Amino acid sequence: MSIIIKGGTLVTPRGSYISDIKIEGEIIACIGENLESSNAQIIDAGGSLVFPGFIDSHTHLDLDTGFTRTTDNFQTGTAAAIVGGTTTILDFATQNRGESLSEGLNNWHKLAKGISSCDYGFHMAITEWNEQVKKELETMKEEGITSYKAYMAYDSLRINDGEIYDILKALKKYNGILGVHCENGDLVNTMIREQLTQGNTSPKAHPLSRPNIVEAEAVSRFIDIAKLAEAPIYIVHLSTKEGLEEALRARERGQRVYLETCPQYLLLEDSLYDLEGFEGAKYVLSPPLRKNDDRESLWRAISLGQIDIIGTDHCSFNFKGQKELGLKDFSKIPNGIPGIEHRPVLMYTYGVMGGRITSEQMCALLSENVAKLFSMYPKKGALEVGSDADIVIWDPKANGIISKENQRQNVDYTPFEGFETLGKAKEVFLRGIHVVKDGELIKNNCGKFVKRGGHHV
């Protein structure tokens, strides 16, 4: 049976218009006015916005940190994501040191297969670089992996500048793109020790150990490495005004620098680390929360189209039992916060309804730009004939309050506790399957792996 979504306002980055959409099987079969079919199921979208399914460029599900594990796995995390309107995620498959890339990828396939409620793809995180790993890039492309990640911080994950340079050059053969966690790892390690030596063991010391310049210096260095390699780059979870300025200067010189930020860097501030007791641990993530000046700079860049993507960096740990591992030493607090469920409603409420962006810009930031950068467009991220029928019917009149009690994320708190929201994903279709009805998940575990081609933006 076909499905016709009637009378909604279709949102695209180039404009919005009222039209009907006909779904046949897994794809969008027709877009036009007054569509009819004798046996179609009719969905009334009058008064609603219709978005392409949102795509989260940055998640960490079922991640083993070496001393604890994220509370959200692919089953719980993707169920939360799709209720919020996110129909595809890109998670970080990570090569443990001593493993091949293929072993790392297979580990993540086992974690996700059969239990994901979103479609999913993987960035491949490289933690060990050598000639054998280099040869595997061809295999990775054949497996549909063409985006990668490297870390400039975290001793168990980071690689050196020369290796980053070599990876960038090697990826050009496969039209791959490298994203980097930009923090100066040596400075972070030294400044953590400095805080602890001074007796600063509470969450308040976390942002002091990772000041703005630690990110900005790493952003600048990554950009310079990319210039030498003549390669495009992707900077994940940008958090600072200074880091943004480095990226914009590089673009002015003609470099291809793509930028991602996250709702936490737009809506939360570092004053939260000063909360009474150990409450500030709820907001320990890296990079840390910043000041209002940084937030405003990022918002301004978003409104001007200078930031390409809004991801979440969803990495959920319970406050009780997990964040509390750092009760006596802030550096032992697991780094990460949840957000996979709330990104769309936060961007709609505080971006669109807050007058900072348009609904068309929201569509670009959360759907089309992600699909284009990571080689899924127009299969994903588009309301076009022939595209996957990943569709979100958005009720702009709904209102709510975010709380740990009403979230689906499998974690005992939310950093956005008490935030008032406008709008919600009322109906969600994943490849034509009606998975969310009236805001409730009615079909789960329908997600499939998305095999991607080479970067082409």
- In the predicted structure, residue 457 carries a pLDDT above the cut 90: no
- Give pLDDT tens digits for 97-119: 999 999 999 999 999 999 999 99
Q: Given this model, what pLDDT does residue 453 score? A: 82
Q: Given this model, what pLDDT does residue 354 score? A: 98
Q: Given this model, what pLDDT does residue 259 score? A: 98
| DSSP summary character for residue 238 | -
Give the pair of three-digit tokens for residue 386: 């022939």
- In the predicted structure, residue 324 carries a pLDDT above the cut 60: yes
Identity of the residue numbered 137? L
**Is the Cβ–Cβ distance between 439 and 133 less than 8 Å?**
no
Give the pair of three-digit tokens for residue 432: 């034509």
Q: Which residues of 242-255 are buried (b: 16+ CB within 10 A; e: fewer)?
A: bbbebbeebeeeeb
Between the alpha carbon of residue 360 and those of residues 45, 119, 364, the distances in Å are: 18, 23, 6
- Give pLDDT tens digits for 123-161: 999 999 999 999 999 999 999 999 999 999 999 999 999
Mean pLDDT of 228-239: 98
How are the residues of the chain apportioned to helix, strand and coil, as percentages rounded to the nearest 5? 35, 25, 40
User: Does the pTM exceed 0.95?
Assistant: yes
User: Quick one: which of 156, 57, 41, 37 has its CA closest to 97?
Assistant: 156
- In the predicted structure, residue 379 carries a pLDDT above the cut 60: yes
Q: Given this model, what pLDDT does residue 38 score? A: 83
Which residues are within 8 A (CB) of 225 and not within 5 positions of it... i.e. 6 or more apart?
A: 161, 164, 165, 168
DSSP three-state, residue 303? helix
Mean pLDDT of 192-199: 98
**Is the Cβ–Cβ distance between 394 and 363 less than 8 Å?**
no
* SS3 sequence of 408-421: CCCCCCCCCCCCEE
Which residues are within 8 A (CB) of 50 and not within 5 positions of it... i.e. 6 or more apart?
A: 5, 8, 9, 10, 11, 21, 383, 391, 392, 393, 394
Token pair 């964040």 in the structure block, residue: 323
Mean pLDDT of 432-436: 98
Mean pLDDT of 242-246: 98
E strand or H helix at 218, and its extent?
helix 212-229
| Domain residue ranges in the chain | 52-373
Give the pLDDT band of residue 456 (cuts 50, 70, 90).
low
Give the pLDDT band of residue 1 (cuts 50, 70, 90).
confident
Token pair 């980053």 in the structure block, residue: 164
Give the pLDDT band of residue 455 (cuts 50, 70, 90).
low
Q: Around Cβ 124, how many Cβ atoms within 10 Å?
A: 24
DSSP three-state, residue 62? coil
For 266, list phi and psi in degrees, rounded to 5.
-100, -25
Give the pLDDT band of residue 37 (cuts 50, 70, 90).
confident
Give the pLDDT band of residue 276 (cuts 50, 70, 90).
very high
Query: What ranges in 73-211 are assigned the alpha helix state H?
Result: 74-83, 101-112, 131-142, 161-172, 185-197, 205-208
What are the counts of helices (DSSP H) followed by strands (DSSP E) for the chain?
Answer: 13, 17
User: Quick one: which of 374, 401, 371 has its CA closest to 87?
Assistant: 371
Give the pLDDT band of residue 397 (cuts 50, 70, 90).
very high
Topology (CATH level 3) of domain 52-373 = TIM Barrel (3.20.20)
E strand or H helix at 235, and its extent?
strand 233-235
E strand or H helix at 124, and its extent?
strand 119-125
Identity of the residue numbered 241? K
Q: What is the mean pLDDT of the chain?
A: 97
Category of 291 on φ-ψ map: left (φ > 0), alpha (ψ -120 to 50) or beta: beta
Q: What is the CA radius of gyration of the chain?
A: 21
- Give pLDDT tens digits for 43-88: 999 999 999 999 999 999 999 999 999 999 999 999 999 999 999 9
| DSSP summary character for residue 126 | P
Q: Given this model, what pLDDT does residue 267 score? A: 98
